[in-house]
Structure 1
Amino acid sequence: MADRRRMQGVWRTAAAGLCLLLVPPLAGCGGRTAADPARAEVQQVLDRRSAALLGHDETAYGTTGTRTGYDRLRALPLASWTYRVTALHHRGTGVTADAELRYRISGYDRAPVSVRRTLALGRTADDGWYVTADRPAPKAEQQLWDQGTVAAVEGAHSLVLGAGRSAADLRAYARLADRAVPAVSRAWGTDWTRRVVVLVPRSLEGMAGLLGSPAAGYRGIAAVTTGEAGGSGKAPADRVVVNPDAYGMLGGLGKQVVLTHETTHVATRAHTTAATPLWLSEGYADWIGYLGTGRTPAEAAPELARAVRDGHVPSGLPSDRDFGFSGDPTHLAQAYEGGWLACTMIADHWGEARLDTFYRAVGAHRERPGAVEGAMKKVLGTTPEAFTAQWREYVRTRLG
């Protein structure tokens, strides 16, 4: 139940400069070595491979190499799929190509997902090239099809993609996501796509592979959402990535709360920036997640309630470090619960509309310093010191 923010990449271009005197005279401005003809040939093979995949032409795809990718990808609703060879390495009679893969899921991605891939190619009998393997580049994240054949279930407001999952399993996720989207819109508003993409790998290890991080960091975490912080509106759709091991241990209500929480991150993406503290983004997602569930504060915040009963009321709001996955799970739970109670207090004391306005006001700042302070003064008419004191008392009275 977390939001992994990915800042939008910045493209850097290198301008072609004048021929410098430091360059050996014989090289001159036009003295670059001849381009490797194999690179252009490999690019042409990958172009044909992409066209065959998009055109659902399995025979044409097979003429470019292994059919494994086609079989694994045939259910994925693709709007685009292109490779750009960035480097070529000769290995005996074959080559290894470094490539940028850009693809869009139809109806969801407003811009392509860009991932680094490594492809192995061998020679054909007529001296052409064919693909023998297509895998993530070193240190790059896996894609769902790297883990097996992708199955897809489309709901009214959702697209659920799974590897190693049954259609019935994925339909259950779609039902929960379809309930989450209108629930979030009722609380947050409709100024978002009102659609969500859910990825369901086979296991915790599969989740970690999709996120490019060690599995140990996500043990006990039911799901995370990836996306562009302060979304521009021209970016790939956020992905809700499920940890089926932890998610499967939840009851029906818990599963719904998790998907509603993650869907809230999708909805609030454009207003969640570097200025937004995690106690606010995670607390707000939990606040919407628990709306209408009838859960009492002690039921929704059991770890913090236990601490309060033991006489340990937090001295301040949770810091961003408190939300680290690799720390004490009890401490992590208390951080989420503390953020939820902060947002619940705002809704109770100032009203739900002010909570919404406060969230947007914080995210409107370009950087963290002054963001919360300014929004508290402008929207809530209070100071961080007074707010924290009020929150500590709220925690004590609601959980004591």
Structure 2
Amino acid sequence: MAGREWVRISGVAALCALFVALVGCGGQPATDTGRAEVQRLLDRRADALLERDPAAYRATGSTAGYDRLREVPLAAWSYRVTDLDLTGDATATAAAELSYRLQDHDRAPVTTGRTLALARDADGGWQVTSDRPAPRSAQQLWDQGRVVAARGDHSLVLGVGRTEESLRDFAALADRAVPAVSDAWGTGWGQRVLVLVPDSLEEMAGLLGSPASSYRGIAAVTTGEVGGAADGPADRIILNPEAYGLLGPTGKQVVLTHESTHVATRAHTGPATPLWLSEGYADWAGYRDTGRAPAEAAPELARAVAAGDVPQELPADGDFGFTDDPTALSQAYESGWMACRLIAEQWGEERLGAFYRAVGAHGQRDGAVESALEKVLGTSEEAFTRAWREYLGEQLTG
């Protein structure tokens, strides 16, 4: 979930596409022997990387990947060849699935598609000449340059185009975020975060496999599966260095605490969880210890309320879409935050956490919020909405 801080084939081409898995367009049939040979090559390449053996890695081809991954704490790295296209007498292209784990963070592998270019060496064996994301697969951080690492007490920060010293600043913010989240949510989560700092907005978008326009003005995004298991790959907090860099010290801390909250609450965030709750709770945790007044932290909503335009309902999920109306988007986030702030003040912080968990545990979207409001807070959806609207008037005016 994002943080608030902010193919046409016809004729011969279709026939070619039909057989690409067997021979590759314009290529020759790839024998089982050839595929096994390439698999052995990639196995050696993976072993050399994990063992930090530059000579063995160099013997398998291009060393660009080794140099870029030198500082990344890898616990596992392996390829599985899924297709081989013999594109010439001495060249080939392999499709493979890469699986890797980061030490102390990923409890299960991250898997991603890769396309590897191969060439025959003087002895007739294969060597890797390039390793890049497969079509429709997102980039990995090392695709963008040499990765630099900085470790904190509760964090690992990986960046491109930055020094270790500069990355320690991000680690310090993350190290403050984790205890703050645990104080609000509880300690029943990994209490570690993984932060990726690409060099630009465009490279952030590359990691997410989306156009840069989708994230302009957004300071950070957290990736992970809703209801993700504790034994899965770690969530990645991905920063937009352009938008994040415009924030002041408090804003930067709020963003990292917000995103760390998404990491902590992931296992209890289900299909039934509305965005006003997941984003509002993350904002509540982010602002919890800042001392920011509601009108200061929710300026767009405060302006609307002061003008007599009090929202009639809590924001729908569609209101959180990144559109050309940043004011409406801000009001959606601020509305969710104020709803969670109301619960924390009127029913208590423990009940707010229990309410979040109860909504996420509901088997279906319909009735999830209403059921949790009744069971945990002893109120109805209608009464809660009315209390929230009154709370906006009280807190954002005067």
Could you state the TM-score of these two structures normalised by the residue count of structure 2? 0.92
The reply to whether residue 244 of structure 1 matches residue 237 of structure 2 is: no
Task: Look up the match of 1:71.
Answer: 67
Task: Look up the match of 2:34.
Answer: 38
Secondary structure class of the residue paired with 1:340: helix
Contact preservation (8 Å) 1:201, 1:243: yes
Specify whether residues 244 and 52 from structure 1 end up closer, same or farther in structure 2 by C-alpha distance, changes over 3 A only: same
The reply to whether residue 290 of structure 1 matches residue 287 of structure 2 is: yes
Task: Look up the match of 2:387.
Answer: 390
Instruction: Give the alignment of 1:1-400 within 5 angstroms.
Output: 2=2, 35-92=31-88, 93-400=90-397
Secondary structure class of the residue paired with 1:330: helix
Secondary structure class of the residue paired with 2:105: coil
Contact preservation (8 Å) 2:155, 2:193: yes
Post-superposition shift, 1:315?
1.1
Deviations 1:190-241 (A, max 9, x none): 0000000000000111110001111111111000100121112121000000
Deviations 1:112-168 (A, max 9, x none): 000011000001111100000000001110000000000000100000000111212
Q: Which amino acid aligns with 2:335?
A: G
Q: Which amino acid aligns with 2:2?
A: A
Q: Which amino acid aligns with 2:300?
A: E
Deviations 1:34-86 (A, max 9, x none): 94311111000000000000000000000000000000001000000000001
Specify whether residues 228 and 161 from structure 1 end up closer, same or farther in structure 2 by C-alpha distance, changes over 3 A only: same
Counterpart-to-counterpart distance in 1, 2:323 and 2:160: 26
Deviations 1:253-302 (A, max 9, x none): 00000000000000001101111000000000000000111100001100
Secondary structure class of the residue paired with 2:292: coil
Contact preservation (8 Å) 1:3, 1:226: no
Counterpart-to-counterpart distance in 1, 2:363 and 2:105: 27
Post-superposition shift, 1:366?
2.5
Give the number of equivalent residue pairs: 372
Contact preservation (8 Å) 2:3, 2:219: no
**Which runs of no fewer than 5 residues in structure 1 stay unpaired?**
5-32
> Which moved further from structure 2: 199-208 or 36-45?
36-45
Deviations 1:74-104 (A, max 9, x none): 1000000000001111111211111100000
Secondary structure class of the residue paired with 2:118: strand
Post-superposition shift, 1:382?
1.1
Q: Which amino acid aligns with 2:330?
A: A
Q: Which amino acid aligns with 1:398?
A: Q
Contact preservation (8 Å) 1:228, 1:235: no
Counterpart-to-counterpart distance in 1, 2:297 and 2:30: 66
Secondary structure class of the residue paired with 1:206: helix
Task: Look up the match of 1:13.
Answer: none
Counterpart-to-counterpart distance in 2, 1:59 and 1:169: 31
Post-superposition shift, 1:383?
1.2
Question: How much identity, in percent, do the aligned residues show?
Answer: 67
Q: Which amino acid aligns with 1:41?
A: E
Task: Look up the match of 2:8.
Answer: none
**Which runs of no fewer than 5 residues in structure 2 stay unpaired?**
5-28
Q: Which amino acid aligns with 2:82?
A: T
Q: Which amino acid aligns with 1:2?
A: A
